[in-house]
Amino acid sequence: MNYLAHLFLSGADEEIMIGNFIADSVRGSELASFPPGVQKGITLHRQIDSYTDRHPVVTESKNRLRPEFGKWPPVIVDVFYDHFLAAGWNKYSDEPLKGYSKRVYKILKQHKAILPERVRGFLPYMIYGNWLVGYSKLSGIEQTLRGMSNRSRFNPQMHRAVSVLRAQYDGFQDEFERFFVDLRKLVETKSHEDV
């Protein structure tokens, strides 16, 4: 899952949201330097990623892309799934996506002091480009994948996967919806545990 899903699955707790958002930029040894709520969010992010990587429905989505994109389908599918969450947002939240995004950006800015340097570096671009709302459009997904490709030393041209998404949209959407039901159950279970 990409940024939108991780933020959404954090619920209302701002510290968990921050941790879930920054987790990819936090090394294991750095975990203890964050407040307990942020640590919970980082741990939740890692549990979500581990569950996602092993889920058979996600494997179906990755297999659609594997012939053309080699080792990159896990990254691409994460972005595709954020698209389906954003595009179908009203199924999952009573708060409109635009309002949710504005609120999240405000929270992230308020906690800027504890964000890792890498996150502080891209956050202004994320807010200016309104990435969370942009995920709802295929053009936004294409832009996201192009940016990720350009930042990779291999430049895997992941933005070309949008043509596969267009051609097999219903199949990817069905996979996302089946998977997201399971993922939300996992997160609900974890929220009752001391993650």
Q: What is the pLDDT of residues 36-79, one digit of tens each?
A: 999 999 999 999 999 999 999 999 999 999 989 999 999 999 99
How many domains is the chain partitioned into structurally?
1
Q: What is the pLDDT of residues 171-182, one digit of tens each?
A: 999 999 999 999
Q: What is the pLDDT of residues 104-153, one digit of tens each?
A: 999 999 999 999 999 999 999 999 999 999 999 999 999 999 999 988 88
d(C-alpha 120, C-alpha 4), whole Å: 17
**What range does the domain containing 109 cover?**
3-191
Question: In this structure, are residues 166 and 14 in contact, taking their beta carbons and an 8 Å threshold?
Answer: no
How does residue 155 score in pLDDT terms, banded at 50, 70 and 90?
confident
Task: Dihedral sign for Cα 184, 185, 191, 195, please.
Answer: negative
In this structure, what token pair is assigned to residue 18? 């921050």
182, 191, 4, 193: which is closest to 93 by C-alpha?
Answer: 4
Question: In this structure, are residues 62 and 42 in contact, taking their beta carbons and an 8 Å threshold?
Answer: no
Residue 155, number of CB atoms within 10 A of its CB: 11
Residue whose structure tokens are 């999952």: 92
pLDDT confidence of residue 153 = 83
